[in-house]
Amino acid sequence: MALGEFDLIRRFFAGTALQHPFNQLGIGDDCALLNLPDSYQIAVTADTMVENVHFFADVDPNALGHKVLAVNLSDLAAMGAEPFAVTLALTLPKVDEAWLQGFADGFLALARQYRVDLVGGDTTAGPLTLTVQAMGAVPRGQALLRSGARPGDLIFVSGPLGNAGLGLKIRQGLPGADGGSALQSFDRPLPRIEIGLALRGVASACIDISDGLAADLGHILQQSGVGAVIDWDKLPLSAPVREYIATSSDWTLPLSAGDDYELCFTVPMAAATMVPAGCHCVGAVEAESGLRIRRAGRIEQLQARGYQHFA
């Protein structure tokens, strides 16, 4: 007989001891109970992944478990929040124990890595859909908002751009590409938690790059009421992405491709020395609105729109 809802929860998701001191009661009651010291605020986010919209039906369930948690932790990283608890709403077409084991292993391994507890959720039958809600702690008033960029601030990214976009192209059948690291970036992005924490009191604005640098930096610019210029030559690119651009001439990939989950942040000039090692300065904030790109000796206006559902 197939596992029922309660056995499924117990077998795959419950039973591990709570790791984070803020969490008092986890899976098993009507609600979880979380306690935060008065000096903290809770940063809360949720992201849903739907089969055939966000992932392919044949995706490795372990990678999927990793990714649905990683994209949520990435939002916490972008706020400078320390993750401590998540909930998981699972809608499954059927109970496939091997699939569930892989999914739970991928999910819980990443949770352990960041000392995040799975404190509750919901389990229903229906088209495969995964929703994670993540909660992070940030000292009162220190969250990194999108709205704080000012003219003269420098613009940084936390790591290479376009890797996951190239990984997606390879998954979709791009011939001839050697994409081990690109596929890894697409399947198992790492949330930049440590960098987000190190940016408290340093960055004036921050966002995670889920829809591409142009679109996501665009949100910072719009919400801060400023513009920017990006130097194409300063964009950090992996060897496979450089090679892809050289052969395809598709130089917009690192600006337009999503799913890298690096952080993009702005820093006042005076704080530039406090930016964590490994981050790259790629441009500067300007008073004039709009996003411009400096490339091959020219400056051009960039029209950036990330992926939009319903659009």
Question: What is the binding site for ligand ADP (CB under 6 A)?
Answer: 9, 13, 27-30, 88, 90, 118, 120-123
Find residue 291's DSSP bridge partners.
228
Q: Which does 79 bind (CB under 5 to 8 A by kind): Mg ion, ligand ADP, none?
A: none
Q: Is 122 in the site for Mg ion (CB under 5 A)?
A: yes
Distance CA 146, CA 215 (A): 13
Report the residue number, 108 or 279, with the smaller CB distance to ligand ADP. 108
Report the residue number, 26 or 218, with the smaller CB distance to Mg ion. 26
3 state DSSP class of 244: helix
Annotation-wise, does 75 bind a ligand? yes
Q: Which does 9 bind (CB under 5 to 8 A by kind): Mg ion, ligand ADP, none?
A: ligand ADP
- Nearest-CA neighbor of 39 among 157, 156, 124, 139? 139
Report the residue number, 31 or 270, with the smaller CB distance to Mg ion. 31
Annotation-wise, does 259 bind a ligand? yes
DSSP per-residue codes, 168-217: HHHHTT-TT---HHHHHHHHS----HHHHHHTTTT-SEEEE-SS-HHHHH
Residue type, 298: R
Distance CA 152, CA 146 (A): 16
- Nearest-CA neighbor of 187 among 47, 54, 53? 54
Quote the distance between the C-alpha of residue 256 and its chain's center: 15
Report the residue number, 90 or 226, with the smaller CB distance to ligand ADP. 90
Minimum CB separation of residue 29 from ligand ADP in Å reads 6
Q: Which does 29 bind (CB under 5 to 8 A by kind): ligand ADP, Mg ion, none?
A: ligand ADP
Q: Is 124 in the site for Mg ion (CB under 5 A)?
A: no
Annotation-wise, does 178 bind a ligand? no
Minimum CB separation of residue 124 from ligand ADP in Å reads 8
Binding-site positions for substrate read 54, 259, 307
Site residues (vs Mg ion, CB under 5 A)? 122
